[in-house]
Amino acid sequence: MVAIHPVVVALLPLIPSALGQTCATINPVNAATFASGYEGPRGIIFDIQGNLLTAEQSSYGLRYIQLTDNGGTNICVRSQKQLVADSSLNHGIALTPDGKKLFASSKTTVYSWDYDGTTGTVGNKKTVVTGMSTSGHVSRTLLVPKTQPNVLLVQVGSNGNLDTGAAQASSGRSQIRIFKLADLEAGSKAYTTGELLGYGIRNNAGIAEDIHGGIFSVNNGMDDMTVNGKDVHNTNPCEELNYHGRINDTSSPERGKSYGYPTCHSIYDPSVLPSPFNTQLKVGDTVTNGASSSTCTRVAPKLCFPAHTAPLDLKFNSGGSAAYVTFHGSWDKTPPDGYRVSRVAWNSQTGQPVASVTNTSAAQNIMYNANNAACPSGCFRPVGLAWSPSGKLFLSSDATNEIWVIGGAK
Ligand SMILES: *[C@@H]1O[C@H](CO)[C@@H](O)[C@H](O)[C@H]1NC(C)=O
Ligand SMILES: *[C@@H]1O[C@H](CO)[C@@H](O)[C@H](O)[C@H]1NC(C)=O
């Protein structure tokens, strides 16, 4: 059911119900045979002790999973327990690089805890960011950058497909804000008081830091797009890879800027646009939804992924030569697309993708459903990515309640 690119040595599921199994080599198995066990796993991270932490959206909260990694694909679950019982926590999870402060989010609020990875315990829950949008996209993505570990990035998506209010940064939607941890320590902060990293980004579900401290994000574009009355939605707009400058560079050209939404949308497939756009525009150029203008002031994407594939996370490899991206998959496209993990080649010197924005083959498939016919309810739908301390790439699939490890990801 799940197909694997040759680059992947093996992959296997980690099933909590398999507790008590010995840590002998687990053979690669077929996705069809999996038992379920997790409760809608979304964001996943490793602590500095090598334990896996998950945020699970189906009224569970956070989980602490001790793994035994004997090398290669010889990994198993040694023990697991509920770390935080809170049904409102649904996606975002982040840890400071020193492994001592844990953050997790509900739709409206970010919380923090003192964290002890050795015992798998947390201190008292503290409310740190409040007042995030109550409607539309419900997941919030959190990141404490390694190159600037004294701040927390918090993302909020739009309140619907076309959120006109999100044109204003003051709406607190379709944007990423930066909070100083010292300020959060002093007391909770309203979301809109954070420093603006970028706005006009419909639903920036994945945010990652490259080896230079550059911040990249993956955005889910609008549904049901039309241009001058023509329905172009099946292959438009792009799902974008956006760049936000280096986190420590407060005067980067991208800092605090608009990426175009809800007015401007990046074109994935110019060929279906009405004249003259079909001949004038290239992949990654912009056009306004429903109207006739292609003049927009915005930060342009660095890459365009196929429409409605729903990228939800990205993570860089340790050498900075690739980013892995999860595509959760579509509903607004025929046939459905996404439901895969892809690798994007990166230039570790420049800190930018190797491919240009017009290259629609920049994302190479690594792991995908051999047949998407069972999607979206009965197939692999990847969400969160995390590198283990030993350099293996783990990922969650919320629809199938699984956690996977890709043995050969480099
Ligand atoms: C930001 O960090 C990078 C990499 O750590 C460093 O080379 C650069 O000088 C820093 N820039 C600023 C403005 O501090
Ligand atoms: C597009 O990117 C892929 C992956 O990096 C690469 O193999 C391919 O040669 C690129 N195509 C063009 C036209 O540059």
Distances from the Cα of 363 to the Cα of 182, 311, 344, 351, angstroms = 38, 11, 5, 16
Over residues 116-170, the pLDDT tens digits come to 999 999 999 999 999 999 999 999 999 999 999 999 999 999 999 999 999 999 9
248 alpha carbon, closest ligand: 1
- Does residue 248 line the site of ligand 1, with CB under 6 A? yes
Q: Of all protein residues, whose CA lies closest to atom 7 belonging to ligand 1?
A: 212
Domains of the chain: 2-406 (2.120.10.30)
Residue 27 carries which DSSP code? P
Beta bridge partners of 198: 176, 257
Nearest 5 degrees, angle CA 326-CA 121-CA 128?
Answer: 70
Over residues 216-244, the pLDDT tens digits come to 999 999 999 999 889 999 999 999 999 99
- Does residue 246 line the site of ligand 1, with CB under 6 A? yes
Of ligand 1's listed atoms, the one at least distance from the Cα of 246 is 1
pTM of the model: 0.93
pLDDT at 2: 56
- Does residue 359 line the site of ligand 2, with CB under 6 A? yes
Task: Give the whole-angstrom CA distance, residue 169 versus residue 261.
Answer: 11
User: Could you identify the residue written with the tokens 């629609």?
Assistant: 360
Q: Of all protein residues, whose CA lies closest to atom 14 belonging to ligand 1?
A: 248
- Does residue 147 line the site of ligand 1, with CB under 6 A? yes
What tens-digit pLDDT sequence spans the chain (410 residues)? 455 543 343 344 444 443 333 333 333 332 222 234 789 999 999 999 999 999 999 999 999 999 888 776 667 788 889 999 999 999 999 999 999 999 999 999 999 999 999 999 999 999 999 999 999 999 999 999 999 999 999 999 999 999 999 999 999 999 999 999 999 999 999 999 999 999 999 999 999 999 999 999 999 999 999 998 899 999 999 999 999 999 999 999 999 999 999 999 999 999 999 998 999 899 999 987 656 566 788 999 999 999 999 999 999 999 999 999 999 998 889 888 999 999 999 999 999 999 999 999 999 998 888 888 888 877 889 999 999 988 889 999 998 888 888 877 88
**235, 269, 230, 205: which is closest to 337 by C-alpha?**
235
- Does residue 252 line the site of ligand 1, with CB under 6 A? no
Of ligand 1's listed atoms, the one at least distance from the Cα of 147 is 5
Task: Give the whole-angstrom CA distance, residue 289 versus residue 275.
Answer: 15
